[in-house]
Amino acid sequence: MTQRFDFIIIGAGSAGCVLADKLTRCGGHQVLLLEAGGSDRRGWIKIPVGYGFTFSDPAVNWCFSAEPDPGLQNRTGYWPRGKVIGGSSSINAMAYVRGLPHDFDDWETAGAQGWGWDAVRPSFDALESNDELGPDGNRQRRGGGPVRVTDLQGQMHPFSQNFLAAARDMGWPTSTNMNALPPGNNNHAPGEGLNYVRSTVRNGFRWSAADAFLRPALKRSNLTVLRQAQVEQIMLTGKRATGLRYRQAGQIHEATASREVILSAGAVSSPQILQLSGIGPAGMLKTHGIDVAHHLPEVGRGLQDHLALSHFYWSNTATLNATLGNRWGQAMAGLRYVLTRRGPLSVPVNQCSGYARTKGTDVPDVQLYCNPASYATRPDGKPQIDRDNGFLLCVQPSRPTSRGEITLRSANPGDAPLIQPNSLATEEDRATAIRASHLLQELAQTPAMQAVTRARREPDILPMDDAALLENFRARAGTVFHPSCTCRMGHDAQDSVLDARLRVHGLSGLRVIDASAFPNITSGNTNAPTLMLAARAADLVLEDNTHSAQAAE
């Protein structure tokens, strides 16, 4: 029996949860939300430090692997993606980072009219409820939005103060929230500086998109949510999307949408679903025996991601390792968390971050991460924190110019797609990698960092010249899990997949609303701009459907 709805949303991740909330508020639309994964009611999802354990858990994670990447010495990268209610917002590091103004102005230049900074900034403001720690130590609430953004500096490890001291040694501001973006002054660019990370944490628990948007929406009778439902094909009638086929409990089902099908499966799975539906590059589709329903060459192309280079150091003073690097400390931290929702388990490991300029640049072109712990990933994918005290310094080029691609491995919806990152493919990206590495060298040599460094761990970045720095970056840099742009907005079908209202070029009744729609990657962590994009896109969906209903009367 075919199920009938007004709107169908594919994917209950960050974007899908926002859409489910906004499209059901009026009560007049029947909405179906499908999620390939299961429930997010899991301890390691809710505990902020628990993302180290969901990092490789196939119960909540697609656990994708990229193809060997020539730019990274043919290494194969691991690409975790949320396969659970809340999507990647249920397994990410909870950093809430808007991005920089020029990110969104560049979107507009790329053809996404109406997505410049002046347009999107009010949308960020409306989404957020910021819980800040004031100078007097008291908490101050700013904004009344559903996304809880918390300043956790009062609970962060004291060692993190050394990172801020090192930033001051570098001449960077340390009093600015990354999302506040004050005007540049004293030779500083807007957004430049290092501070404590703002996190999507509320009362000691992760605050995912499911918490912020889906749970309120579930109280409405016009929302239907299906879990463990994997979409296999979007159905077209001519050039209009009319519904989809999905598999649940081994059975194939169909559902129709009288208004729109909205694809929000993420930057890896959204292009895959389009391609499985015969929407994409005709030559590639024919290779896999898929009938071409709509030739759209840019589907899956334009992939961008952030690469980060991390170096670890042994510390001569206590870091998080002193607590979490032994069973007794872990037990005490666990007990404290159970009793108070405070302590090391209540705070993400990423504690300090910010933007900086490398030599010769006018705007911040790298993001820094500084963590008061050293650790490794075991062969089974689980985190292994060092017993000895250590810390991490990390730098990430913010705006890469290289573009990769998502393509089909086969016509079988159960097969993971091919992820081809194409890292460091441009001279500009290679030059930025070298400049970013120099910045890491400088940060490690500040008086503040030298004062707490007992030993530099191998490979030691300090003696490396430009050639060695580039090879070190190729050998050690890896994704920080921000894939985007694979169904990007743009001018037309020759340079993009979507128009500025996120409608698929050449088709009606079909949109893609998630990080794949970014024209270019933003400068920082991508969850906040994904939430913003979905909130604004939901308004466009409602506006367009109101107009079409009025026109039909």
At residue 454, φ and ψ (nearest 5 deg) are: -85, -35
pLDDT tens for 145-159 read: 999 999 999 999 999
Question: Residue 49, by phi and psi: left (phi above 0), alpha (psi -120 to 50) or beta?
Answer: alpha
What gap in Å lies between CA 459 and CA 529, rounded to an integer? Answer: 35
**Cis bond before residue 459 (omega within 30° of 0):** yes
Task: Report the alpha-carbon angle 483-485-489, nearest 5.
Answer: 155
* pLDDT of 363 above 80: yes
Q: Which 3 state secondary structure label does DSSP give 174?
A: coil
Q: Which 3 state secondary structure label does DSSP give 62?
A: coil
Question: Residue 147, by phi and psi: left (phi above 0), alpha (psi -120 to 50) or beta?
Answer: beta
pLDDT band of 553, cuts 50, 70, 90:
very low
Which pLDDT score, from 0 to 100, does residue 74 have? 97
pLDDT band of 547, cuts 50, 70, 90:
low
pLDDT tens for 133-192 read: 776 666 778 889 999 999 999 999 999 999 999 999 999 999 778 898 666 666 777 789
pLDDT band of 113, cuts 50, 70, 90:
very high
Percent of the chain with pLDDT over 70: 95
CB 34 within 8 A of CB 226: yes
Q: What is the pTM of this model?
A: 0.96
pLDDT tens for 34-78 read: 999 999 999 999 999 999 899 999 999 999 999 999 999 999 999
* pLDDT of 242 above 50: yes
- For the ranges 37-41, 251-255, 373-377, 420-424, the lowest mean pLDDT is seen at 373-377
pLDDT tens for 460-519 read: 999 999 999 999 999 999 999 999 999 999 999 999 999 999 999 999 999 999 999 999
The CA dihedral of 11, 409, 294, 530, to the nearest 10 degrees, is 30
Q: Which 3 state secondary structure label does DSSP give 284?
A: helix
CB 56 within 8 A of CB 380: yes
Which pLDDT score, from 0 to 100, does residue 186 have? 66
When pLDDT is averaged across residues 366-374 and rounded to a whole number, the result is: 97
- For the ranges 35-49, 219-233, 369-383, 496-510, the lowest mean pLDDT is seen at 369-383
Sign of CA dihedral 442, 154, 207, 142: negative
Q: According to the 3-state scheme, what is the secondary structure of 253-283?
A: EEEEEEEEEEECCHHHHHHHHHHHCCEECHH
183 compared with 322, residue with greater pLDDT: 322
Of 295, 482, 491, 547, which residue is the catalytic one? 482
Which pLDDT score, from 0 to 100, does residue 381 have? 65
| Catalytic residue flag (residue 491) | no
Mean pLDDT in the chain?
95
CB 227 within 8 A of CB 246: no
pLDDT tens for 122-134 read: 999 999 999 887 7
Q: Which residue is it, tokens 């510390």? A: 315
What gap in Å lies between CA 198 and CA 338, rounded to an integer? Answer: 23
pLDDT tens for 289-306 read: 999 999 999 999 999 999
Single-letter amino acid, residue 356: A
Which pLDDT score, from 0 to 100, does residue 549 have? 54
When pLDDT is averaged across residues 83-110 and rounded to a whole number, the result is: 97
